[in-house]
A = this chain, B = another copy of it.
Amino acid sequence: MLRLSTKGQYGVRAMFEIANGYPDKPVTIKEISEKQAVSVAYLEQILNKLRNGGLIKSIKGPGGGYLLNKKPEKISISAILKELEGPVAITSCLDPKEGCVRVDGCVTYMLWKSLGEKIEGFLDTVSLKDLITGALLERTAGKIKKKA
């Protein structure tokens, strides 16, 4: 359950590759495609969205490619996923584009809302830099492990 689509997954991996060129070495689609094993055509779709969202910028012509638009530590996983897949919305009631029809379902409403907030809270705290430096390993070790 709660599977993330490939767009989101590939998007994060692509951002990771682009981050490796930070701050001034443009990374081409072809490079990303080869390193992450995703087709160029599909990557174009994904990178286009990320560019429109202001997370990356592109340089055309020979020697061109993609660059981060902000520092890696300023780009959260949450921001990447939101650009590609919209906000976290466990249920349709919680999707800003839809809404809650049944009012007496409020007990479960709070449940899904809480879960969504928890997920978003977590993704907000992880940045591209954390991905690069492997900071996630330490963090999760401290936060998730139950046994000291």
Ranked nearest first, the 6 interchain pairs of A and B with the lowest CB-CB distance are: A1-B85, A114-B140, A110-B136, A4-B90, A2-B2, A107-B131
Residue A65 is within 8 A (CB to CB) of chain B in the complex: no
A residues engaging B (CB < 8 A)? 1-5, 8-9, 12-13, 16, 36-37, 77, 81-82, 84-92, 102, 105, 107-108, 110-115, 117-119, 121-123, 126, 131-132, 134, 136-137, 139-140, 144
Minimal beta-carbon separation of A86 from chain B (angstroms): 6
Residues of B close to A131: CB separation below 8 A? 107-108, 111
Q: Can you report 24 residue pairs joining A to B where beta carbons are below 8 Å apart? A: A1-B8, A1-B81, A1-B82, A1-B86, A1-B89, A2-B2, A3-B90, A3-B91, A4-B112, A9-B91, A9-B112, A12-B108, A16-B107, A16-B108, A37-B102, A107-B132, A107-B134, A107-B136, A110-B136, A111-B126, A115-B122, A115-B123, A117-B144, A121-B144
